[in-house]
C-alpha cells in the first residue's frame, strides 16, 4: 500500500492541478464558506454533526494570522445563524503559535471567546511532533484564561500519548475533551509506533484510557479494528446510546456533544460505517475542511503519508467500498 502511494507521489509534481482537485473534492468541501455550509446542509439529513476546519497552517509571517481570524469569525457567525450542528477545529500554527506564542494565544483566545458566546466548541488540531508540547501548552493556557469550550487532539501512534492523557485529565478535570486518532504524520521510531498493528493497538488503548480518566472522547478512526474495540470498551463500561454517561463524575456536557463520547470521520471516508453507527444511536461527527488552500492541504497530506494515496485511489476506482 505504501509502495503504491509512493508511486503516485512520484507523479504528483507533473499531475495537472485540475486532476488533483478531482480527487480532492471528495474530501474537501470547497474553497469558500458557502461551500462548507452547502455540504453540511446536504449531510445533515444523515443524522450527523460537524467539525469545520479552515485549511491553512505553517504561516511564514504573523501578519498572515489576520486572514484566519477573519475566516473563523465569519465561520462561527455563520454556524450560529444556521440550524446546523457544528463546531470548529483549527491549526494552531495558522495563528502563529510557532512564531509568536503570546500573540497566538491572544488571537486564539478571541476566537474561542466568540465561539463560546454561541455555544460552539473549538478543537486545537495536533500537528507533527515538533509542535506537540507547544499545542498542549496552548490548550492548557487557554483553559487557565477561563475558556472551557476547548479541546485538543492526541495521536495514538505517539509513545508520549498515555502521559499526555493523564496530564490533560489533571489540568482540565471534568472539562477535559480529547479527539484521539492514529495520527497522519509519519514520526520516527524512537518517539512513535511505526507498524500498523502497533498503531491500531496503541490508539485503541488510548481511547480506553481516556474513558477511564473521565474525559469526553472523540473516537476519530476509520480503522474497523479501532471502531470495534471502542464499541466493546463502551459496552463494557455501561455506555449506551441515548443514555446518561455512566461515569462519576460525568464530564462537562456541552451543546451538540454526546453522552461522554462520539465517533468522528473525515469527510468522504467510511460514510457507510458512520451511517450505521448513527442509526444505532451513537453521535457521529464529520470533520469537514474547506478553503482556498485545498491544493496545499492535499499535497501536504500525501507527502506526510503516501499511504493515503492508496485510500484516495481506491475510493475512485472502487467507489462502492467507500461511500461518502
| Catalytic residue, candidates 179, 247, 270, 285 | 179
Contact (CB, 8 A) for 29 and 75: no
| Catalytic residue, candidates 53, 123, 125, 274 | 125
Question: Per DSSP, what are the bridge partners of residue 49?
Answer: 285
- The set of cell numbers assigned to 211 is 474513558
Q: Is 190 a catalytic residue?
A: no
Range with the lowest mean pLDDT among 28-32, 119-123, 208-212, 312-316? 312-316
Q: Is 270 a catalytic residue?
A: no
pLDDT score, position 241: 83
SS3 state at 54: strand
Domains of the chain: 1-28+300-324 (no CATH), 29-290 (3.20.20.220)
SS3 state at 105: helix
pLDDT score, position 27: 82
Quick one: what percent of the chain has pLDDT higher than 90?
Answer: 74
Residues 288-303: pLDDT tens digits? 999 987 666 666 655 5
Which residues, 6 or more positions from 272, have their beta carbon under 8 angstroms from its beta carbon? 322, 323
Residues 217-237: pLDDT tens digits? 999 999 999 999 999 999 999
The DSSP result for 157-220, as a single string, is TBTTHHHHHHHHHHHHGGG-EEEEE--SS---TTTB--SHHHHHHHHHHHHHHHHHTT-EEEEE
Residues 90-144: pLDDT tens digits? 999 999 999 999 999 999 999 999 999 999 999 999 999 999 999 999 999 999 9
SS3 state at 61: coil
HSE at residue 40, side-chain half, CA atoms within 13 A, is 27
The DSSP result for 235-284, as a single string, is HHTT--TTS---SSSPPPP-TT--SSEEEEEETTS-HHHHHHHHHTT--E
Which residues, 6 or more positions from 155, have their beta carbon under 8 angstroms from its beta carbon? 126, 161, 180, 181, 182, 183, 185, 192
pLDDT score, position 312: 53
Amino acid at each position: 500500500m505504501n509502495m503504491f502511494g509512493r508511486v503516485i507521489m512520484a507523479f504528483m509534481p507533473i499531475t495537472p492541478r485540475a486532476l488533483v482537485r478531482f480527487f480532492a473534492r471528495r474530501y474537501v468541501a470547497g474553497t469558500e464558506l458557502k461551500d462548507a455550509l452547502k455540504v453540511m446542509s446536504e449531510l445533515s439529513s444523515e443524522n450527523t454533526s460537524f467539525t469545520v476546519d479552515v485549511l491553512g497552517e505553517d504561516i511564514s509571517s504573523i501578519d498572515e494570522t489576520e486572514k484566519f481570524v477573519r475566516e473563523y469569525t465569519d465561520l462561527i457567525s455563520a454556524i450560529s445563524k444556521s440550524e446546523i450542528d457544528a463546531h470548529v477545529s483549527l491549526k494552531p500554527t495558522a495563528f502563529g503559535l510557532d512564531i509568536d506564542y503570546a500573540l497566538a494565544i491572544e488571537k486564539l483566545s478571541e476566537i474561542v471567546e466568540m465561539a463560546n458566546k454561541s455555544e460552539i466548541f473549538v478543537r486545537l488540531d495536533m500537528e507533527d511532533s515538533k509542535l506537540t508540547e507547544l499545542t498542549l501548552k496552548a490548550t492548557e493556557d487557554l483553559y487557565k484564561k477561563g475558556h472551557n469550550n476547548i479541546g485538543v487532539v492526541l495521536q495514538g501512534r505517539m509513545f508520549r500519548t498515555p502521559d499526555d492523557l493523564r496530564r490533560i485529565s489533571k489540568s482540565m478535570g471534568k472539562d477535559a475533551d480529547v479527539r484521539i486518532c492514529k495520527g497522519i504524520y509519519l514520526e520516527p521510531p524512537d518517539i512513535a509506533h511505526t507498524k500498523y498493528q502497533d498503531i491500531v493497538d496503541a490508539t485503541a488503548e488510548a481511547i480506553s484510557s481516556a474513558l477511564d480518566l473521565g474525559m469526553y472522547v472523540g473516537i476519530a478512526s476509520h480503522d474497523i479494528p479501532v471502531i470495534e474495540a471502542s464499541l466493546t470498551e463502551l459496552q463494557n463500561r455501561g455506555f449506551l446510546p441515548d443514555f446518561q454517561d455512566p461515569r462519576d463524575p460525568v464530564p462537562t456536557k456541552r451543546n451538540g456533544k454526546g453522552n461522554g463520547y462520539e465517533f468522528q470521520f473525515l469527510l468522504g471516508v467510511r460514510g457507510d460505517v458512520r451511517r450505521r453507527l448513527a442509526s444505532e444511536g451513537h453521535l457521529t461527527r464529520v470533520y469537514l475542511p474547506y478553503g482556498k488552500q485545498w491544493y496545499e492541504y492535499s499535497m501536504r497530506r500525501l507527502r506526510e503519508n503516501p499511504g493515503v494515496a492508496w485510500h484516495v485511489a481506491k475510493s475512485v476506482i472502487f467507489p462502492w467500498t467507500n461511500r461518502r
